[in-house]
Structure 1
């Protein structure tokens, strides 16, 4: 019996959740390589590097070369055929007295020259040793299981001119600190600072900011992941003349299998942003602007990214939205992203951040709690 719209809808609604949701990269039962990673200690940190960094990047580069070689050969052959056909056509026209063979050959050489220059320019950009973007990540008692996925998401980026500034904020777990030290030793693009004391997320992020040398900085939490083109897409948008860009995001569920709760954000609106913490991740900011704004404030821990962005918005209006999900935020029990109870008190800190912002910009208004979670209403103040 053929499906009617009603029966088709019923079938869809009765499908298992995993059949209609997007899977994350890793299955429920980690592969052998990942199992080996999770059992690492300080003694075997070199094996961590060998398995994840060397082998992972080697396969990635081989894959890129294979695709690149195939595509290049295809284009080269097409170019040869096009030139060969033009050559034959030119000879025919020349024999008939209706064409000029030299013009065709000259144009072909000219186009080849343009392509050579363009390819050289791309190669120079690709090999540029100065990082264009610095990733800032504070860590504290990180889950090695989740941090492995964070590492892979950075190493698998579609561009290579990045640096990763990681500050461990006094973790008590030796295995994660050993892994961080090993990463810094083996990968020159990864900088690690191991703090002995726990200063909080803002203090650790400021230390990472001071380590950065890229033209732009972006924020990555220690258990979240980036989409493969996150940095490339961000830099492309910034190259259009913006100082700040932010992307859409979603969440990795508790099982680690599915991307859920996609967040489609509005374009930049300073008025709306005062009432709703919607910029979130992925956030990329010109580094000099981040320093001028004053970095991150410990008194606003919990909404430090939001309060930082309020101050950044006082320095520039060149802020753009990338309407793609470039950031995957992991749901963790007890975190603000995953536990409603952990949000208690956040609205109070958010309200204080907005009121400070309103005072700095000289607006006679005050922020008060609004309807819904993390919503603020702005009321004018009359004298």
Structure 2
């Protein structure tokens, strides 16, 4: 930049924090605004696998590779697929030195990124209620102006309407969050089923349990089934009544074997409802001066493939690099957006299709991809990505 722009980033998730961190490493300051009152004020969710060709490249740009590896769990790349009877359909165990997609808890990642920033960079407790070109208005009555507004504010972005009328569409699948604490001692059956990494179990009629090892002896996951977002209203189930939700799930999963049911019934907390939505893919827009989007705000997609957070972090790093390299603000944003559209569109469409296929009725459960090949692909694309950047 020939002049120092006033940059406002809305959202202190992985995308926004990565962008701010890489900007600071290039000597460019940004202010991050987030509705949360602190970095740890809410449950951040479960675990993420950071891919060598995206999330890990963003961490390289952020200078946080060593900090990441101090927290990451490469052994948790292991995956097992079972049917509703507990029969193992496929297994993947990462080889020695496989660092293609290590796991890290979402909360650990967010805290690591936040603590890498200069004090005062993030303004907590700032819930955005209105965004216009160059101006942000918050629920507490304060406002801010900026030369560039970066919407990293997730699925229901308040910044996105400045660029596109596109809105998230429901994917037809509801998830209920589950959690198992001190799993190896308190829930040995669950621990044995999950192993060191992930367990994907599904039947042939669109029901599934997806659970993952987290740090600290915790397993977190989802009980999933095809339904409308208000399924509990139609079924007369009070989501605050854990017993009633469990009873409903036992009826819903009646065809599952007794050995698989602890994944559903031994939940240590409430069943937290989720529903999955996605933006049309591929999604593009005409460049609008002074505003752009990162992560879910730009390309909300199904979680299958684990691309969402990885692309979000790469978005943040690539926008920061473009802003540091280009002399003109609009040229930098245009360069970023063109590259972001190209890399996110196909992955978003494929992730959404994979979720629909996984939860479709079929005579037999769908088998997983070849994870060993998938990891080799991550490494190959990472090497290609670095070569392109060196010659750009």
| Smaller-chain TM-score bracket | under 0.3
Between structures 1 and 2, the one with greater helix share: 1
Q: TM-score normalized by structure 2?
A: 0.27
Identify the structure with bigger relative contact order (alpha carbons < 8 Å, sequence gap 6+): 2
Q: TM-score normalized by structure 1?
A: 0.27
Question: Which structure is larger by alpha-carbon Rg, 1 or 2?
Answer: 1
